[in-house]
Amino acid sequence: MSSTSTAFARARAEGRAALVGYLPAGFPDVEGSIAALKVMVESGCDIIEIGLPYSDPVMDGPTIQAAAQQALDAGVRTADVLRVVEAVAATGTPTLVMTYWNPVERYGVERFARDLADAGGAGLITPDLTPDFAPEWIAAADERELDKVFLVAPSSTDERIAMTTAAARGFVYATGVMGVTGTTQATAAGVAPLVARTKALSPAGGADLPVGVGVGVSTGAQAAELAVKNGIGADGVIVGSAFVRTLLNHPGDRAAGLAALAALTEELAGGVRA
Amino acid sequence: MSTYEADALGWFGGTGAFGGRFMPEALIAALDELDVAWREAMADPAFTGEFDRLLHEYAGVPSLLYDATRLSEHAGARILLKREDLNHTGAHKIRNVLGQALLTQRMGKTRVIAETGAGQHGVASATAAAYLGLDCTVYMGEVDTERQALNVARMQLLGAEVIPVTSGSRTLKDAINEAMRDWVASVDETAYLFGTAAGPHPFPSLVLSFVRGIGDEARRQCLDQYGTLPDAVAACVGGGSNAIGLFAGFVDDPEVAIYGFEAGGDGVETGRHAATIFAGSIGVLHGARTFVLQDEDGQTIESHSISAGLDYPGVGPQHSALSAAGRASYLPVTDAEAMDAMALLARTEGIIPAVESAHAVAGALRIAEERPGQTILVNLSGRGDKDMGTALEYFGLGQAGSRGQRETK
């Protein structure tokens, strides 16, 4: 069982959903992102997703684009991302990297898997890599027992959900809306059918593969609405743009940004427990 | 295109080599739907007949194959020009958009989106949308809206909405990103009219099927008019749709050499260029594995070219495969060489080419030196009306009483 699965199991045992928090590495700078992610861990995130800033992020809306661009403009490198992973994973919280595919391919798939594992990273979330085009990554991840988090969407056919969940490890990422990050709000009514289909089509009826809902989730109330107790069945709630926006809203005042980040994390952590 | 075609997953040159589909899961169903609809349409004589009729009656296709005798005299080889510049909207792109817009209509969708660099694909998309009664939104990098303001106005006059893209480098690659973001959120009623033979499967093959008339016609015309195949064919390559359309007609003729000319910008050695195959490396961009201009970490590097239509840091995967297989050669042509060729063609033949197409002419002049007396068929993919601002500035034109400061040979 991976550290990610363990975190989901712990949340499930407590009768709640897990809170998964995202920030891009190197935003506002490398040290700043480590400090911010540690605040998110301390304030109630069960699992951390670290974004690898990329020049052409087709799944991201303006908020995450702006943060990634800021990180790239400041010169963040793939090696810096791994350094952030190491610092955050050292807290004991499962830490995954969310990355578009080209930077991994360029780094070398095998080399990336090795260095990610060495840094204590739990695995990868790959928004533009589906299992049918991922043989190299699947082999490298399997060798090191890294999580392979693939996405399912409301538009996915049943065949593709079955194929994706069969290939996934750690959890499967259900996109809450048809759209990019940070623009549209996901609703329980919109998400419920996808979560139900994903669970029904997962090996062992989803018992071994938690479903996290992301894209379009930003508030504690939404987290509560989507969380397991209220019948939607999401095992995890993934929040990204809202954290990024919180930091973007406090330029030049690190302390105020971190305080706001802690407050948002607590609100969301309360939501998944509601 | 025989051994150079894609397999069922969209791989060119063997599984995992070039092409494929590196896309968000949310768009996979739409790409599969498109793939099925396109294959059915291409097998339906009613669809292909209607496509051919529109090309002929509306777009002015087949375009002429023209023997450029004065240019040939200058070059020392016979230069034949495939006159795609004479098509409606002024470039080969009308072929692609009429095909894709007809397919959109057949699929029952009501809205099209498109990205555009120079504005040619945007204008063509707006034209096809107006003609077929579809809503049209065009994404265009803010930098490009400034250097191609005339084309923005044309799109608007045709009823399209032009959205300036302010993210990233604010050029074609970012316009593609933004169009994909739109598509993820609107895929039920919207078709994405991809502007070049790149992107995720099935776009490279789909676009080729609509533009390959360029090469099929040119081959037939060359045989009919001159009784022989050309010794070489040449085209400019940005994303590479005009080039792949031409090359498709000749790729199975091993005696015909194939040349693609990429934008060398200020010179490949300066780093300011768009010579993706010549100077780039293999990576994944906009849904396909292909040659990419990228840094050590796989971040896309901004390309540079005087020609907005070639200013793209990726290239269609089939070109990468043709290069890897040694079937086609890809070489850079600098801004200066292209502008010289533009002026030369204007003054020898009375034809003002698009700056993009001028790269192909310049390249043909270069290979003519190694092929004296041979026949070189060049795709004159577009006309230069849209580039008068660039020419005015580059040559110092526009002042009556002078012929421009930068005299050419």
CA A205 to chain CA mean position, Å: 22
Nearest to A56 among B20, B168, B187 (CB): B168
- Which residues form the domain of A110? 3-273
Contact check, Cβ <8 Å, A133/B22: yes
From B155, B105, B158, B154, select the one nearest B134 (Cα to Cα).
B105
Spans in chain B with pLDDT lower than 70: 1-2, 404-409
- Contact assignment for A155 to B173 by CB distance below 8 Å: no
What pLDDT does residue B409 have?
A: 44
Phi, psi angles (nearest 5°) of residue B79: -105, 120
Residue that wins the pLDDT comparison between B1 and A151:
A151
Model pLDDT, residue B120:
87
Beta-bridge partners for B332: B262
**Other beta carbons within 10 Å of B212:** 19
Q: Which domains, from first to last, does chain B contain?
A: 24-56+92-208 (3.40.50.1100), 60-90+212-395 (3.40.50.1100)
Within an 8 Å CB–CB cutoff, is residue A106 touching chain B?
A: yes
pLDDT of residue A5: 93
Examine the residue annotation and report whether B115 is marked as an active-site residue of this protein.
yes
Say what the pLDDT of residue A266 is.
96
Look at residue A228 and tell me whether its pLDDT is greater than 70. Answer: no
CA nearest to B144, candidates B397, B395, B386: B386
Residues of chain A above pLDDT 70, percent = 98
If one counts the domains in chain A, the total is: 1
Using a CB-CB cut-off of 8 Å, the residues of chain B touching A130 are: 21, 23, 25, 28
Query: Are the beta carbons of A105 and B173 separated by less than 8 Å?
Result: no
> Which residues face B137 on adjacent strands?
B113, B161
Touching check for A55 and chain B: CB below 8 Å?
A: yes
B93 is catalytic: yes
Catalytic residue among A14, A31, A46, A49: A49
**Residue of B125, B241, B323, B381 marked catalytic:** B381
Question: Testing the interface with A: which of B186, B297, B300, B301 to mutate, by most A Cβ within 10 A?
Answer: B297
Q: For residue A41, what pLDDT is reported?
A: 98
Looking up residue A14, the CATH number of its domain turns out to be 3.20.20.70
Q: Residue A180 in contact with residue A61, Cβ under 8 Å?
A: yes
Annotated catalytic residue, options B63, B82, B93, B303: B93
- Tens of pLDDT, residues A64-122: 999 999 999 999 999 999 999 999 999 999 999 999 999 999 999 999 999 999 999 99
A208 is catalytic: no
pLDDT band at A203 (very low <50, low <70, confident <90, very high): confident
Between helices A188-201 and A158-167, what is the axis angle to 10°? Answer: 70
* Lookup: tokens for B350: 């009375």
Tokens for B31, please give them: 């790409």
ipTM topping 0.90: yes
pLDDT band at A189 (very low <50, low <70, confident <90, very high): confident
SS3 A44: coil
Q: Where are the beta strands (DSSP E) in B42-133?
A: 65-67, 78-83, 111-116
pLDDT value, residue B1: 47
Q: List the one residue out of B113, B69, B89, B40 whose CA is nearest residue B351.
A: B69
CB atoms A62 and B167 under 8 Å = yes
Q: Which residue of A has its CA nearest to B177?
A: A58
Element (H, E) at A258: helix A254-273
Residue B184 has its nearest CB partner, among A106, A150, A178, at A178
Q: Which residue in A55, A77, A156 is closest to B300 by CB distance?
A: A55
pLDDT per position as a tens digit, A120-130: 999 999 999 99
Query: Which residues of chain A neighbour B28 with C-beta distances below 8 Å?
Result: 130, 153, 155-156, 160
Q: Which two tokens stand for residue A54?
A: 């990329």
Length of chain B: 409
